[in-house]
Chains A and B, each alone.
Chain A
Amino acid sequence: MQPITLVDLPRGASAQVVALHGVGPERQRMVDLGILPGTIITVEVRSPLGDPTAYRVRDTLIALRREQAQQVEVLLVQGDRS
């Protein structure tokens, strides 16, 4: 099965981070923004062209460019969401 990343998620969807694929400063930046394996991320707002997209990470809205979001491999969170 093809691994999915943040860019594949529809608006409103929540997912759990499985792995970060970036290296060096880019990876460190993601970690500092609170994005690390196990973190739950929700797609909040997508700009008209889908880039950038605002994600909710640990109670804060964070905008990521497409290339950044592609580095974040996730697993869809199942279950009820109000």
Chain B
Amino acid sequence: MTEQALTPDMAAAPSAQCATCPIYSSAQLVKLGVDASGYDYVIALAGNPNTGKSTIFNALTGLRQHTGNWSGKTVSRAEGGFRFREQRYKLIDLPGTYSLLSTSTDEEVARDFLLFGRPDVTIVVLDATRLERNLNLALQVLAITDRVVVALNLVDEARRHGMTVDVRSLSRDLGVPVVPMAARRGQGVPELLAAIAEVASGAYPTRPRRLPLRDPAVEQAVAALVPQIEATFPGLPNARWVALRLIDGDASITQAVRDGTLGALAPTMALA
């Protein structure tokens, strides 16, 4: 190679040479922009605000939309497509959210899609510099779906602050793949694609970490409620989650059960 190979930027971002190299799996990535038709899998992109969701969205779809550092930037969901190893993927960029439990209007978009939109894979983007805070959402997502890939973003920034994350242990503890990334520089994108493909096809069997309920009485109440919810709203995913919200006194979920709008969520979200 020439002296170009010695510059730090070459190591950071895949170059034109990389794209033609067969061992580099980004070569199998075809960015489809807004064209998300005829997809095989639906992938949701979730995470706390300001963790780099939209940067990852753009890296996979080739779109160059709406990245910026202000809150509520992605107010509704953005969609794009990509192809990887002969499979077509529809990618949904969701508004940033701290939690699936307490929601503002834009956070509700993320919550409803993750719960009732049945994505084939959910990517949870975590900020490596604020791991403790970010893991809250990761555990909430793992409670409602098996098919999760964790994108551990901003590892470059964490390193600058003297932090390294034990990715292997984190992956083992969460029971899902964890991909370290510096998405702004394109680092980790090939590994993320491979993880998405393996979880989507079932080649990577996930064992999501689920937190047990502390109170057996709550577990009994859930067991009593779930069959009733399933009978009232056939085909609704995550009846257990709905039961827990009812027991917790969640006003918006209680209202949605009472007026029947909860049943409408599943089909409309799936069609979108």
Contacts and interface: CB of A to CB of B under 8 A. Distances in A.
A24 B130 contact: no
Interface residues of B, number: 11
A32 interface: yes
Contacts of B101: 28, 32
A65 interface: no
Contact of A28 (B99, B129, B132): B99
Max count, chain A CB within 10 A of own CB: residue among B98, B101, B102, B249: B102
- Mostly, the B contact residues are helix
A24 B132 contact: no
Contacts of B132: 34, 58-59
Interface residues of A, number: 11
B133 interface: yes
A25 B251 contact: yes
Interface string B151-166: 0000000000000000
B136 interface: yes
Contacts of B249: 24
A25 B136 CA distance: 17
Contacts of A59: 129-130, 132-133
Interface of B: 98-99, 101-102, 129-130, 132-133, 136, 249, 251
Interface of A: 24-25, 28-29, 31-34, 58-60
